[in-house]
């Protein structure tokens, strides 16, 4: 779950399948030593209208510390940007000084670095790909929620972070 309630089940399922293609996530939690006890958190989109950067950082810090007491490995995944389904443009404001999503993303990155939590930045990866000409409409069903291709992109980034494999 994310700090505000976002779910990460589908990307974790894809990641699990990548690790053990026939077993799925439950098998990883019980049989793969390096991934036995981990927790992934997806956050930011639902928190944009509710928190400032500092308030979000405080809440996230408490949440991550609680998870670190229960799990061997904790990682935070940012959500991809909103996409205009007509034009394919990114609907999120890309100017950090006027974009609360950017402020929360920076706060999340800093808190993760402070606590030793892996930070998986799907938002920045998607923005970079869009600037390279990738049509991000192919990864979403409605401009907000990922389709299978979107979940696979998230899963690939999570897998790379979990295995320290650069993409």
Q: Across the chain, what does the average pLDDT equal? A: 76
pLDDT in tens, 57-76: 998 999 899 888 888 888 89
Higher pLDDT, 116 or 71: 116
Burial grade of 83 (CB within 10 A; 0-12, 13-18, 19 or more): buried
β-sheet with 118-121: strand ranges across: 38-43, 73-78, 118-121
> What whole-number distance in Å separates Cα of residue 103 and Cα of residue 115?
18
Cα 7 to Cα 27, 64, 76, 112: the distances in Å are 20, 16, 12, 19
Please, what is the end-to-end C-alpha distance for the chain in angstroms? 25
Per-residue model confidence as pLDDT tens digits over 86-101: 999 988 776 666 677 8
Arithmetic mean of pLDDT, 123-129: 91
**CB-CB contact of 104 with 111 (8 Å):** no
What confidence score (pLDDT) does residue 97 get?
63
Element (H or E) spanning 150, and its range?
A: helix 148-163
């Amino acid at each position: 779950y994310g700090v505000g309630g976002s779910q990460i089940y589908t990307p974790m399922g894809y990641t699990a399948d990548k690790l053990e293609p026939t077993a799925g996530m439950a098998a990883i939690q019980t049989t793969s030593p390096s991934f036995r006890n981990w927790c992934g958190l997806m956050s930011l989109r639902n928190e944009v209208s509710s928190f400032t950067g500092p308030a979000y950082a405080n809440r996230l810090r408490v949440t991550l510390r609680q998870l670190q007491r229960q799990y061997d490995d904790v990682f935070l995944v940012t959500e991809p940007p909103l996409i205009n389904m007509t034009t394919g443009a990114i609907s999120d404001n890309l100017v950090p000084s006027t974009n609360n999503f950017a402020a929360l993303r920076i706060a999340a990155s800093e808190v993760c670095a402070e606590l030793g939590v892996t930070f998986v930045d799907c938002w920045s990866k998607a923005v970079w790909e869009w600037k390279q000409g990738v049509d991000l409409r192919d990864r979403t069903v409605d401009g907000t929620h990922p389709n299978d291709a979107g979940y696979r992109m998230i899963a690939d980034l999570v897998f790379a972070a979990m295995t320290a494999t650069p993409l």
